[in-house]
Amino acid sequence: MNVSIPFYNTKTHRIAVSVFFFVAGITFASWASRIPDIKEALHLSDAALGGVLFALPVGQLVSLPLSGWLTARFGSRQLIIWAALLYPLTLISLALAGSVLQLVIALFFFGLWANLVNIAMNTQAVGVEKMYGRSIMASFHGLWSLACFTGAAVGGVFVSAGLSPFVHFVAIFLLTALLVFAAFKYTLPNNFDANGKQPLFVKPDKQILMLGLIAFCCMMCEGAMADWSGIYFKNIVHVPAALTTVGYIAFMSAMATGRFTGDWLITKFGVKIILQISGLLITSGLLTMVLLPSMYTAAIGCLLTGFGVSCVVPMVFAMAGKSKHMPAGLALATVSSISFLGFLAGPPIIGFIAQAASLRWSFVVIALMGLGTTFFSRKIEG
């Protein structure tokens, strides 16, 4: 159904969609900043916490095919409004969870809403990028990274003040709800990407599969850095306990910086060249950590890896959203599904290889996935 709305300029649309990326980032980081408190409140062991946290990606996986269909059926505008409200609202249920079962259920829905927001806001971003006629997708993802830093910092303030996760999460919900209500009417209209009756599944073409494989390789590296960089710095680089997060901070800083500068590079040199360079940066960064495991050289390796990872997913999502064979929402959901498997697979693969050989060898194997990004990017169109 076509919806008649006033026309707003492209900058206004861009700001509105950026708000939703910020909402998604600060919501996720707010949860992450209070995991230790919720773990303590429920008296969870490390192993029990690991099992409980698995409910979040399960929720994301369950929602992957549904999110693409909902976006194609009803439009990203309608979906993003509800999902962006339910996502931070679920933070409150996480804080109120009085048992492991309640926490698992809340985390499942937290993951489900997270993915609905992800697909809807990226579909909106693709539409805004089309209006601009040049690459701007990386800057949206850069704002998500910046929001994560903001959320972590705000979480630190609440923790230092001795305020409970409930108070913290209520404040975050009120802030994000205010942002959503201020921005939603300036997003792209429903008829931008809603096309009436849509199938739940459309067979992806070769281009979409290649984009998915590129993102799979990149996200495997990103997942490995998120879960294992601290352990690597502790066990292989042998830094003091206070410095174990140096590598991940360097990685995240470079990823955020790369996203804010990436659009200019993509516009100047083209997607395929930047994708190939990104893969080489990922590989060289991880190999630097393996071959030169001192604190400064390993931190440089993390920086290179962060720059390499930074623009791959934004570029891949932008290309998927312009698919000529699938609705934007379904194309994004397909690529997101394949890439998310890489994010889930990276950390356990490192663990298995580390157990069988060594942690350094496991990082060598992950480094090769960077070359996969370079290799598959040569086979895409455009």
- Report the pLDDT averaged over residues 306-314: 93
Kindly indicate the confidence band of residue 6, based on its pLDDT and cuts at 50, 70 and 90.
very low
pLDDT at 265 over 80: yes
Closest alpha carbon to 46 in 31, 59, 36, 61 = 36
d(CA 120, CA 106): 21
**DSSP character for 240?**
-
**DSSP character for 98?**
-
pLDDT at 5 over 70: no
Q: Mean pLDDT of all residues in the chain?
A: 86
Give the residue with greater pLDDT, 222 vs 18.
18
In words, the CATH class of domain 10-192 is: mainly alpha
pLDDT at 33 over 50: yes
pLDDT at 3 over 50: no
The least confident of 2-16, 215-229, 254-268 is 2-16
Distances, alpha carbon 233 to alpha carbons 274, 357, 365, in Å: 29, 18, 18
pLDDT at 41 over 60: yes
Q: What percent of the chain has pLDDT over 70?
A: 93
pLDDT at 8 over 70: no
d(CA 97, CA 43): 12
CB contact burial 199-224 (16+ within 10 A = b; e otherwise)? eeebebeebbbbbbbbbbbbbbbbbb
Give the residue with greater pLDDT, 182 vs 325.
182
Helices (H), the chain: 10-33, 35-41, 46-53, 55-74, 76-96, 100-132, 137-160, 165-183, 206-235, 246-269, 271-291, 295-310, 312-321, 328-356, 359-377
What are the pLDDT digits (tens) for 66-75?
Answer: 877 787 777 8
Please give the pLDDT value at position 279.
95
What are the pLDDT digits (tens) for 349-368?
Answer: 877 887 778 888 889 988 99
pLDDT at 346 over 80: no
Token readout for 302 is 């993390």
The least confident of 55-69, 162-176, 195-209 is 195-209
Please check whether residue 31 is in contact with residue 172, taking contact to mean a CB–CB distance below 8 angstroms.
no
Q: Of 8-12, 20-24, 252-256, which has the strongest mean pLDDT?
A: 20-24
Please give the pLDDT value at position 233.
87
Please give the pLDDT value at position 246.
84
Kindly indicate the confidence band of residue 10, based on its pLDDT and cuts at 50, 70 and 90.
confident
d(CA 53, CA 100): 11
What are the pLDDT digits (tens) for 76-124?
Answer: 888 899 999 999 999 999 999 999 999 999 999 999 999 899 888 988 9
Domain at 206-377, CATH homologous superfamily: MFS general substrate transporter like domains (1.20.1250.20)
pLDDT at 16 over 60: yes
Q: Of 74-88, 153-167, 168-182, 365-379, which has the strongest mean pLDDT?
A: 168-182
Q: What percent of the chain has pLDDT over 90?
A: 37
Please check whether residue 147 is in contact with residue 20, taking contact to mean a CB–CB distance below 8 angstroms.
no
**DSSP character for 188?**
P
Q: Of 147-151, 170-174, 319-323, 365-369, which has the strongest mean pLDDT?
A: 170-174
Question: Dihedral (C-alpha) 246, 249, 250, 252: value to the nearest 10 degrees?
Answer: 160
Please check whether residue 167 is in contact with residue 175, taking contact to mean a CB–CB distance below 8 angstroms.
no
253: Cβ contacts below 8 Å, ≥ 6 apart:
303, 306
Kindly indicate the confidence band of residue 202, based on its pLDDT and cuts at 50, 70 and 90.
low
Domain boundaries, the chain: 10-192, 206-377
- Report the pLDDT averaged over residues 250-257: 88
> Same CATH topology for 10-192 and 206-377?
yes
pLDDT at 199 over 60: no
Please give the pLDDT value at position 190.
62
